[in-house]
């Protein structure tokens, strides 16, 4: 179908074209750990230390496969594998021990390559975005400084929703904070749990391999596109429908 240029240079449907409601510019809902900051293995080590302290020894790879889930589901899944059982109070203490072990490693956590530049580019292009993480505010909010972001950056943490990933609550809440419909948003995450939550939220999923999952795993979980890290995503941002040239 033909199009006609407006005085602003933007293309518009010709007078005889179909009348339709134009879709809004895509918004982005970012996971945090392994997506914007290089912290997955610090979390793995923190969980391993916390579990070892109560006599549960698990291989690092088993812990890594669960990173990205809510803390409660994470612990339940690992306990199922070991045949152990813990009370609600003991699980709460275990999660607190993990948080303490993780905070002790904060000095080794850095922003992933291209993370700052990607967020800056989206902001400059007028694209709305927010962060949605299964982490609690106490461990997640310090990441804002790593990314050079202000304290009022839109961020939804585990404290603010009923359930975390793989439930969709975090991404639904982040979309609500931005005032956008989830179907017009893209979830960017590094784990299969992010992508499962994205599908349940009705959003398109984009996978990053910077958290340790492979391309095929992320694609099977529903990723529309998979990139190595935020830097590659920025370099190929046009594949996600973002027009940085406003054309």
* Strand-pair partners of 3: 13
Annotated active-site residue 33? The verdict is: yes
Asked if 31 is an active-site residue, the reply is yes
The distance from CA 3 to its chain's CA centroid, rounded to whole angstroms, is 37
Buried b (16+ CB within 10 A) or exposed e, 165-191: bbbbbbbbbbbebbebebebbbbbbbb
C-alpha angle with apex 154: 150 to 157, nearest 5 degrees?
Answer: 110
Six token digits for residue 194: 């992010």
> Which of 31, 38, 169, 229 is labelled catalytic?
31
* Whole-number Å distance between alpha carbons of 194 and 172: 12
The catalytic site residues sit at 31, 33
């Amino acid at each position: 179908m033909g199009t006609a240029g407006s005085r602003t240079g933007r293309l518009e449907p010709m007078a005889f074209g179909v009348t339709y409601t134009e879709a809004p510019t895509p918004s982005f809902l970012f996971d945090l750990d392994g997506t914007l900051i290089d912290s997955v293995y610090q979390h793995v080590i923190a969980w391993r230390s916390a579990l070892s302290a109560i006599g549960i020894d698990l291989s690092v790879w088993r812990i890594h496969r669960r990173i990205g889930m809510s803390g409660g589901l994470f612990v339940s899944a690992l306990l199922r594998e070991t045949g152990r059982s813990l009370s609600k109070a003991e699980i709460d203490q275990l999660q607190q021990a993990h948080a303490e072990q993780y905070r002790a490693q904060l000095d080794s956590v850095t922003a992933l390559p291209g993370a700052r530049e990607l967020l800056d580019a989206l902001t400059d292009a007028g694209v709305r975005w927010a962060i949605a993480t299964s982490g609690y505010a106490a461990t997640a909010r310090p990441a804002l400084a790593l990314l050079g972001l202000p304290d009022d950056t839109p961020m939804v943490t585990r404290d603010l929703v009923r359930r975390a990933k793989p439930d969709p609550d975090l991404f639904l809440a982040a979309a609500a904070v931005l005032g956008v419909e989830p179907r017009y948003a893209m979830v960017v995450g590094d784990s299969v749990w992010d992508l499962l939550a994205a599908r349940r939220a009705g959003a398109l999923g984009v996978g990053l391999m910077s958290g340790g999952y492979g391309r095929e795993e992320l694609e099977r979980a529903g990723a529309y596109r998979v990139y190595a890290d935020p830097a590659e995503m920025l370099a190929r941002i046009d594949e996600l429908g973002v027009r940085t040239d406003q054309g």
